[in-house]
């Protein structure tokens, strides 16, 4: 059975998964939730309507029955000489019986028609004869009533309708007492009208308007007998728009006991049952069960739910069966009352008739049931697609049955915990089965708590220079301030230590230092949250000494992001000018200490690269960018601008940067490699009139570089530094712009992005390849900060040393020292590196590329010692076995390639290929004995492989539930169920890693977060510590060999964060309460 159950999962794993864009996914999720709410509201409204109808109908029907009960009692049952008659009721079906009248039926065929039990009951009927309105011939040879099995209607129902005033004609006459039941049929001698009831259904029987019922009751009480002569009772029912409604009769069940007591007290013969608790027999869905009357549902909807639950629980069915053995059948007791209890009351007959009216073969019932099933299935599918639904399977044998039942029940949990217990997690409607290990005995009692370990940001690798300007400043404390991702770094260049400001919620884009050289302003981009909604950008003003936030401005005012910020100079930095990333690039001036906006204006539709206050006049502001340089005047709460006129000089495409020199002139660097000097000119009073202010005009042009000039820096001595783009040169100019000395930056570091003066001749240079160089013209420049320049994916930690390796789309493979916080070496490959893993001996490392090629590098020499290609699609994972004898390569062609390893990881031989996944491989892990592999794929499969047995797929996954794994990086598995948030779509978690001591598991998600969970984490919605810092999706996480640090890797933000793992001596209760504090301290990343 295990093999069969697993084969079903293998078949279900055959479908491939499409990955829509996030916006479409969120819209679909929202629409699904709205559809669910609509269906639930509709069901609730229908249930309330039914309850209201029942509340209005039951009193009227009860009043009606009480009013007609004496006549019904006389026509239904009578007690003669202390003896009770046993009326006969047939439940069998005879299609030929309605075609002939009861008077024509020979008495000898009675036993054949009603069956042996009914015939025996007929022979035992005794009593005194009574007068009958029928012919004497019929009285001499009475035939018991033979009812149509299609309607399941018995004589008690007919008797009740006859004597309640519905019909006065004896179309069907029944006699009890000492005389056997006799039937007289209407004029044509056929009970054809009884067949008309066969088209009724429970849903059709509902009365939506109580006035119809009230009018029918009044008519039945006031109609004269002669009005109904000659018409069968069913015709009269159709006239009054009243149909036989089983739901009405079902609603009377709650009132049957008190009614019986009232009626029996009037006759002096109480009705008794053989048990203290009355029992009703409920029939539905092809099953019959006995339930206590006090628990009987009050509506057909509730009854259906009860029946469904009873069918789903074998234990309840077992108890029901026990009741059936000990409790006599209600039907049998009511059909054959004892002499002590007397004959049946009218209400008892009605209750019995109601059961017979339940038609199991009605086509309308089937249609209604199919529609209800379709609606439930639709609702179940939508619920499954919007959330992770967990269902517990009671055993391996029931997995197929549970797969069908659980998919339609949101979050239902069934079954008992046994050796074969499994968990089903649904991702995008697909069930993922995971078996509970044998060492977990009480799964339900497991408590998920945050781990006692915490993360503290230890080091940030990288610098954002590729697309940002003026973001490198040296503070008097000896720290250089810059940013990458969501982190503002303060790096002490002599002590080689870092501090971090972590209050931003998305990537930082710009930076400005206050004139006091202590306070710092940083602006960020907007970003989006996990639901795809845009977040609001803002500017933070904070103290660089204490890292305390002083002010937050612009929340709700800026759009998309903040591109430039600048403090005023002459007024002690009281004002801050900000330009956002909206289409109009709104420019605003703020009194930042009060958080009050002073002025605002649309600047330009073109990109803005630079923004500065005039050091000598806060009322003068300059901006530059694409095809423009603007001179702004801020006066009286308003901003006005004048565009710089190039005149006879060629207008460049971009004005990249500018600086104020000592005499108040403005120097600009453009995309043509020229330095333009803008000098003040007298105001044109003739043209502009009185009040006109002085303007800036080009007075000199100096050719400085080949290609763009990205930065200009004014030194303390009055000299000028310019940094080139294309030529990668840094040139020092005298005060009169005469070149003095130059130096070229190595090509590997890129072009010059920004320059900061240190002391003497020492400089700091930020480059476009995300590096910070330190040096001088005489001694040259060396990197003190380095990083990747494109999206990162590959990450591997050394098996016994504090080093790790990274690779990404920039084709760089970098080996980092975690203890020295430096780059050991880097090399450039021909293709993009996407995954990596160290050999257990630590001497070589394998790197998988995006072309199906993988290489093995010697970490000492950086040389490629092996080079192989498997397929032509990208590789997503490479993993060495714990003993180093195998290498597994997971590809996007759905295969796992296995190689044997020899010569200390320098020689490889193809051993086999694991074939069975229906989508690309995402993650894999080796067992501790290096024999088995667990793998995940893009369509959320979990498969197990016997490598040493010939790369065979283990179809009985139940046998792998207790297997121990050397590493745990698979994002799908029993031990990591709790890491998935509710509503995850299967791609929200990019990577995870279990610590070597198997205490915690770190998770990298798509929302810029790093999570730390306890391990194992087998229950949903497990608590965790959340850490922010990345400004893009976190692509990978790995623990170092001794679990002292965790390395996390950003995607588009190109950052690598090194976290220190700290064991906090807190009890579990304090850990839960402090989980939110850690996220506040580390900020948020939208």
Highest mean pLDDT among 23-37, 134-148, 916-930: 916-930
Per-chain mean pLDDT for the chain: 73
- Chain segment 855-874, per-residue pLDDT in tens: 999 999 999 999 999 999 99
How many whole angstroms separate alpha carbon 86 and alpha carbon 332? 11
More confident residue, 247 or 872: 872
With 60 as the cut, is the pLDDT of residue 12 above it? no
Tens-digit pLDDT profile for residues 804-819: 999 999 999 999 999 9
Residue entry with tokens 């990345």? 1030
- What whole-number distance in Å separates Cα of residue 192 and Cα of residue 591? 94
Residue 1070 has a pLDDT of 34
Residue 750 confidence (pLDDT) above 90: yes
Q: Can you tell me which residue has the tokens 């160089």?
A: 773
Strand, helix or coil at 919? Answer: coil
> Which pLDDT score is estimated for 685?
57
Q: What span, in angstroms and rounded, lies between the C-alpha atoms of 820 and 803?
A: 9
Angle at the Cα of 43 (from 38 to 49), degrees rounded to 5?
Answer: 125
Q: Which tens digits make up the pLDDT trace of 219-240?
A: 444 444 434 334 443 343 333 4
Distance of CA 195 to the CA centre of its chain: 53
With a cut of 60, say whether residue 576 has pLDDT above it: yes
Q: Does residue 355 contact residue 91 with C-beta atoms inside 8 Å?
A: no
Res. 345: pLDDT tops 80: no
**At residue 865, what are phi and psi to the nearest 5 degrees?**
-100, -20
Give the pLDDT of residue 373.
63
Give 116 or 684, the one with higher predicted confidence: 684
Q: Which residue has the tokens 């009626």?
A: 263
Helix (H) or strand (E) holding 927: none
pLDDT tens digit sequence for 404-414: 333 333 333 32
Residue in the structure block whose two tokens are 């003993």? 883
**C-alpha closest to that of 765 among 741, 749, 742, 747:** 749
Three-class DSSP category at 875: strand
Of 542, 592, 545, 599, the C-alpha closest to 571 is 592
**CB neighbour list of residue 239: distance below 8 Å, 6 or more residues apart:** none
Residue among 291, 298, 215 nearest 252 (CA): 298
User: Where is 233: in which H helix or E strand?
Assistant: helix 233-239
Q: How far apart are CA 1069 and CA 742, in angstroms?
A: 63
Please list the helix, strand and coil fractions of the chain in percent, rounded to the nearest 5, in that order.
25, 30, 45
Gyration radius from the chain CA atoms = 43
The token duo for 492 is 């002490």
Q: Please state, in angstroms and as integers, the Cα–Cα distance from residue 139 to each residue in 27, 159, 393, following that order.
A: 77, 18, 63
Residues 436-456 have a mean pLDDT of 90
**Rounded Cα–Cα distance for residues 403 and 388 (Å):** 15
Q: Which residues pair with 766 in a beta bridge?
A: 754, 772
Identify whether the C-beta of residue 211 lies closer than 8 Å to the C-beta of residue 171. no
Residue 799: C-alpha distances to residues 485, 820, 965 (Å):
29, 17, 16
- Higher-confidence residue of 125 and 560: namely 560
Q: Is 674 left (phi over 0), alpha (psi -120 to 50) or beta?
A: beta
- The CA distance from 525 to 605, in Å, is 18
Between CA 905 and CA 865 the distance in angstroms is: 9
270 band by pLDDT with thresholds 50, 70 and 90: very low
Picking from 1064, 1070, 1008, 1063, the residue whose alpha carbon sits closest to that of residue 1033 is: 1008
Considering 48-52, 58-62, 1015-1019, the range whose residues carry the highest mean pLDDT is 1015-1019
Structure confidence at residue 801 as a pLDDT band (50, 70, 90): very high
DSSP state of 852: S
Confidence tier at 71 by pLDDT (50, 70, 90): low
The angle subtended at Cα 843 by Cα 840 and Cα 847, nearest 5°, is 80
Does 997 score more than 70 pLDDT? Answer: yes
d(CA 543, CA 475): 12
Count the Cβ atoms, other than its own, within 10 Å of residue 555.
12
Tokens at 1083, concatenated: 């900020």
DSSP state at residue 344: P
**pLDDT tens, residue by residue, 677-686:** 998 876 655 6
The answer to whether residue 17 scores a pLDDT higher than 50 is no
- Output the pLDDT for position 374: 58
Pairwise CA distance, residues 764 & 757, whole Å = 6
Comparison of pLDDT for 382 and 591, the residue scoring more: 591
All residues at 6 or more sequence positions from 8 whose CB lies less than 8 Å from its CB, including other chains: 399, 400, 403
pLDDT confidence tier of residue 844, bands split at 50, 70 and 90: very high
**Spatial contact of 487 and 460, defined as CB atoms under 8 Å apart:** yes
Q: Is 648 helix (H, G, I), strand (E, B) or coil?
A: coil
Q: What is the pLDDT of residue 308?
A: 41
How would you label 975-1014 residue by residue, b for 16+ Cβ within 10 Å and e otherwise? Answer: bbbbbbbeebbbbbbbbbbbbeeeebbbbbbbbbbbbbbb
- Of the candidates 583, 592, 543, the residue with the CA atom closest to the CA atom of residue 565: 592
Contact 189, 104 (CB under 8 A): yes
Q: What percent of the chain clears pLDDT 70, i.e. is strictly above it? A: 62
Higher pLDDT pick, 10 / 927 = 927
Tokens of 641: 């601008």
Average the pLDDT over 934-942 and give the result: 95
From residue 763, alpha-carbon distances to 657, 759, 760, 1018 in Å are: 19, 7, 8, 54
Rounded Cα distance, 946 and 438, in Å: 21
- In the sheet that holds 921-926, the strands lie side by side as 921-926, 932-937, 942-946, 952-953
Which has the higher per-residue pLDDT, 279 or 65?
65
Cβ atoms of residues 669 and 722 within 8 Å: yes
Query: CA 216 to CA 1076: how far, in whole Å?
Result: 66
| pLDDT tens digit sequence for 757-799 | 998 889 999 999 999 999 999 999 999 999 999 999 999 999 9
Q: Considering only residues 73 and 1045, tell me which one the structure prediction assigns the higher pLDDT.
A: 1045
How large is the average pLDDT for residues 703-731?
Answer: 94
Instruction: Note the pLDDT of residue 663.
Output: 85
Q: Does 1067 score more than 50 pLDDT?
A: no
Length of the chain as a residue count? 1086
According to the model, what pLDDT value does residue 528 have? 76
Give the strand order in the sheet containing 608-614. Answer: 608-614, 617-625, 628-635, 638-643
pLDDT score for 215 = 56
Residues 6+ apart with CB under 8 A from 702: 674, 675, 676, 677, 737
């Amino acid at each position: 059975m295990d093999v069969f159950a697993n084969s079903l999962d293998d078949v279900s794993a055959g479908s491939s998964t499409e990955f829509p864009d996030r916006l479409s996914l969120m819209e679909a999720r929202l629409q699904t939730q709205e559809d669910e709410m609509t269906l639930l509201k509709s069901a609730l409204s229908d249930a309330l309507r039914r309850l209201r109808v029942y509340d209005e109908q039951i009193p009227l029907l009860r009043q009606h029955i009480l009013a007609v009960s004496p006549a019904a009692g006389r026509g239904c049952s009578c007690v003669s000489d202390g003896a009770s008659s046993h009326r006969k009721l047939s439940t069998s079906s005879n299609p030929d019986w309605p075609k002939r009248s009861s008077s024509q039926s020979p008495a000898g065929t009675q036993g054949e028609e009603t069956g042996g039990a009914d015939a025996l009951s007929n022979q035992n009927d005794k009593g005194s004869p009574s007068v009958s309105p029928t012919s004497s011939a019929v009285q001499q040879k009475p035939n018991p009533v033979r009812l149509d099995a299609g309607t399941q209607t018995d004589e008690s129902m007919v008797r009740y309708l006859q004597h309640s005033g519905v019909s006065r004609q004896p179309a069907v006459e029944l006699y009890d007492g000492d005389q056997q039941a006799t039937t007289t049929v209407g004029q044509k001698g056929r009970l054809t009208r009884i067949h008309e009831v066969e088209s009724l259904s429970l849903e059709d029987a509902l009365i939506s308007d109580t006035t119809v019922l009230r009018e029918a009751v009044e008519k039945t009480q006031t109609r004269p007998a002669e009005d109904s002569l000659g018409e069968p009772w069913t015709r009269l029912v159709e006239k009054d728009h009243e149909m036989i409604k089983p739901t009405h009769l079902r609603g009377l069940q709650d009132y049957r006991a008190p009614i019986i007591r009232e009626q029996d007290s009037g006759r002096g013969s109480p009705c008794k049952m053989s048990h203290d608790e009355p029992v009703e027999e409920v029939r539905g869905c092809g099953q019959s069960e006995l339930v206590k009357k006090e628990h009987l549902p009050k509506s057909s909807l509730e009854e259906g739910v009860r029946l469904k639950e009873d069918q789903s629980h074998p234990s309840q069915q077992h108890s029901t069966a026990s009741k059936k053995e000990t409790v006599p059948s209600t039907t049998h007791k009511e059909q054959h009352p004892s002499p002590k209890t007397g004959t049946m009351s009218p209400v008892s007959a009605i209750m019995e008739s109601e059961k017979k009216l339940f038609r199991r073969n009605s086509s309308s019932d089937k249609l209604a049931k199919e529609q209800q099933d379709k609606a439930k299935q639709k609702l179940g599918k939508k619920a499954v697609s919007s959330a992770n639904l967990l269902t517990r399977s009671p055993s391996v044998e029931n997995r197929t049955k549970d797969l069908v039942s659980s998919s339609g029940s949101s979050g239902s949990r069934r079954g008992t915990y046994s050796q074969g217990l499994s968990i089903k997690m649904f991702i995008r409607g697909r069930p993922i089965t995971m078996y509970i290990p044998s060492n977990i005995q009480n799964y339900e009692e497991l408590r998920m708590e945050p781990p006692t370990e915490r993360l503290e940001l230890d080091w940030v690798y990288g610098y954002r220079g590729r697309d940002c300007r003026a973001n490198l400043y040296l503070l008097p404390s000896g720290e250089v301030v810059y940013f990458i991702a969501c982190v503002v770094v303060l790096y002490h260049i002599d002590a080689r230590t870092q501090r971090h400001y972590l209050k931003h919620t998305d990537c930082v884009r710009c930076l400005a230092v206050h004139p006091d050289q202590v306070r710092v302003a940083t602006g960020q981009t907007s970003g989006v949250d996990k639901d795809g909604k845009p977040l609001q950008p803002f500017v933070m003003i904070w103290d660089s000494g204490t890292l305390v936030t002083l002010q937050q401005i612009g929340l709700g005012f800026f759009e998309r992001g903040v591109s430039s910020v600048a403090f005023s100079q002459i007024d002690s930095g009281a004002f801050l000018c900000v330009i956002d990333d909206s289409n109009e690039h709104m420019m605003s001036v703020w009194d930042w200490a009060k958080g009050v906006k002073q002025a605002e204006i649309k600047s330009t539709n073109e990109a803005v690269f630079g923004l500065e206050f005039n050091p000598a006049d806060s009322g003068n502001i300059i901006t530059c960018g694409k095809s423009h340089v603007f001179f702004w005047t801020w006066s009286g709460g308003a901003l006005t601008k004048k565009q710089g006129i190039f005149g006879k000089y060629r207008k460049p495409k971009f004005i990249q940067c500018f600086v104020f020199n000592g005499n108040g002139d403005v120097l600009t660097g453009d995309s043509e490699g020229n330095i333009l000097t803008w000098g003040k000119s007298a105001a044109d009073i003739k043209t502009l009139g009185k009040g006109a202010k002085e303007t800036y005009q080009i007075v000199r042009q100096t050719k400085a570089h080949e290609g763009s000039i990205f930065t200009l820096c004014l030194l303390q001595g009055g000299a000028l530094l310019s940094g080139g783009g294309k030529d990668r040169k840094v040139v020092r100019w005298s005060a009169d712009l005469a070149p003095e000395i130059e130096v070229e930056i190595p090509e590997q570091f890129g072009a010059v992005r920004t320059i900061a003066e240190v002391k003497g001749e020492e400089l700091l240079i930020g480059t476009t390849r995300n590096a910070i160089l330190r040096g001088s013209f005489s001694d040259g420049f060396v990197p003190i900060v380095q990083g990747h320049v494109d999206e990162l994916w590959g990450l591997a930690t050394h098996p016994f040393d504090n080093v790790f390796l990274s690779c990404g789309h920039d084709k760089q493979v970098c080996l980092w020292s975690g203890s020295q916080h430096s780059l050991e070496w880097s090399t450039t490959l021909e293709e993009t590196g996407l995954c990596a893993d160290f050999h257990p001996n630590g001497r070589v490392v394998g790197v998988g590329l995006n072309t199906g090629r993988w290489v093995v590098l010697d970490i000492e020499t950086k040389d490629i010692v092996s080079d192989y290609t498997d397929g032509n699609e990208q590789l997503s994972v490479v993993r060495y076995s714990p003993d180093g004898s195998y290498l597994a390569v997971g590809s996007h062609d759905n295969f796992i390639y296995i190689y044997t390893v020899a010569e200390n990881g320098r020689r490889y031989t193809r051993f086999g290929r694991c074939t069975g996944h229906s989508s690309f491989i995402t993650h894999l892990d080796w067992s501790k004995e290096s024999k088995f592999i667990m793998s995940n794929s893009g369509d959320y499969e979990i498969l197990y492989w016997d490598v040493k047995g010939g790369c065979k797929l283990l179809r009985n996954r139940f046998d792998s539930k207790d297997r121990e794994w050397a590493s745990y990086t698979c994002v799908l598995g029993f031990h990591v169920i709790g890491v998935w948030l509710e509503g995850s779509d299967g791609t929200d978690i990019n990577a995870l890693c279990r610590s070597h001591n198997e205490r915690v598991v770190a998770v990298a998600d798509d929302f810029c977060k790093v999570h730390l969970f306890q391990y194992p984490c087998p229950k949903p919605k497990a608590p965790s510590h959340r850490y922010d810092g990345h400004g893009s999706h976190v692509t990978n996480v790995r623990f170092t060999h001794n679990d002292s640090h965790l390395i996390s890797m950003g995607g588009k933000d190109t950052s690598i964060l090194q976290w220190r793992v700290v064991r906090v001596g807190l009890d579990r209760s304090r850990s839960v309460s402090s989980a939110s504090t850690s996220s506040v301290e580390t900020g948020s990343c939208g």
